[in-house]
Amino acid sequence: MDRDDAESSRRAGECEALGWGRAYAGDYPAAFVFLSKAHALRRTGGGATDSSRVVGLAIARAKTRQWHGAHGEAQTLLVEALWHAHRTGIDPDITSVLVSLADLALDVGDYHLAQAILTETLPRRLRDRYYSVGQLELLGLVEFGLGRPRHAVRLIGAAIAIRDAMGVNPVIPAIAIRMRRFHRAARQLLGEDDYDAQFRVGRATDLVAAVAKALAS
């Protein structure tokens, strides 16, 4: 890497860090600006040969628009990211974009599309607990949207238990708000006792068993 590329890479890293910092603070428009700068720098010299990083930043840009409520723009960005991922042929990148499209479908209430994508992609990432648990959580939300609240609570309970064991929990405000809404709605629908019982069953389920149950739904 020559000096210009090194400087571009450094600037891209700074922009990416600033972008995620703003996303964690809930300032999604500012996050989009910084992440877009990082994406442009990576594509034009600052690590542009790292296709996975470019795709990751493309997904991040789309996420900030989704979290801001700009679902149409988010979809356009994800379709572009999917084209890039297919062009490079890196399967984990393709899977990551597809899961992000499922997340977006969930947000706009297209539960059947979200379910189809997640059940097709989940087996691809079983060795990666971080990504698997994220998909498991999304499937739980999809199950709730499809009218299967008990199964949904069990899947979410399993996902939360696994996240707790990993020491990883989502802190993006939009994600936290979505989960609070789910728990509140599930409690109201099932009642406290049933909700708590299903949640305990889920928390006692390991990742392999939880994935098997998710795929069997």
Separation CA 36–CA 25 (nearest Å): 17
For residue 38, give its domain range: 1-108
Domain end residue (candidates: 78, 93, 108): 108
Whether residues 85 and 130 fall in one domain: no
Number of domains in the chain: 2
Residue 24 confidence (pLDDT): 95
Asked whether the beta carbons of 13 and 47 are under 8 A apart, the reply is no
Whether residues 102 and 140 fall in one domain: no
Whether residues 98 and 167 fall in one domain: no
Nearest to 19 by CA among 9, 6, 28, 10: 28
Separation CA 175–CA 186 (nearest Å): 17
Separation CA 188–CA 190 (nearest Å): 6
Residue 173 CB partners (closer than 8 Å, separation 6+): 24, 25, 26, 67
Whether residues 78 and 99 fall in one domain: yes
Domain end residue (candidates: 77, 108, 139): 108
Identity (one letter) of the amino acid at 2?
Answer: D
Whether residues 96 and 123 fall in one domain: no
Residue 8 confidence (pLDDT): 83
The phi-psi region of residue 167 (left if phi > 0; otherwise alpha if psi is between -120 and 50; otherwise beta) is left
Whether residues 83 and 158 fall in one domain: no
Whether residues 35 and 53 fall in one domain: yes
Question: What tens digit of pLDDT does each residue of 78-90 get?
Answer: 999 999 999 988 8
Alpha helices, H only, the chain: 3-24, 28-43, 51-67, 71-88, 91-107, 111-121, 129-145, 149-166, 173-190, 192-203, 207-216
Whether residues 89 and 139 fall in one domain: no
Q: How many angstroms from the chain centroid is the CA of residue 96? A: 8
Separation CA 98–CA 121 (nearest Å): 8
Residue 46 confidence (pLDDT): 45
Asked whether the beta carbons of 154 and 198 are under 8 A apart, the reply is yes
Residue 3 confidence (pLDDT): 63
Task: Per residue of the chain (217 residues), give pLDDT as tens.
Answer: 556 677 888 899 999 999 999 999 999 999 999 999 999 998 886 444 578 899 999 999 999 999 999 999 999 999 999 999 999 888 889 999 999 999 999 999 999 999 999 999 988 877 777 888 889 999 999 999 999 999 999 999 999 998 888 887 767 999 999 999 999 999 999 999 999 999 999 999 887 777 777 777 6
Whether residues 148 and 94 fall in one domain: no
Whether residues 115 and 216 fall in one domain: yes
pTM attached to this predicted model: 0.91
Whether residues 74 and 125 fall in one domain: no
CATH of the domain at 6: 1.25.40.10
Residue 44 confidence (pLDDT): 80
Domain end residue (candidates: 79, 108, 137): 108
Whether residues 13 and 101 fall in one domain: yes
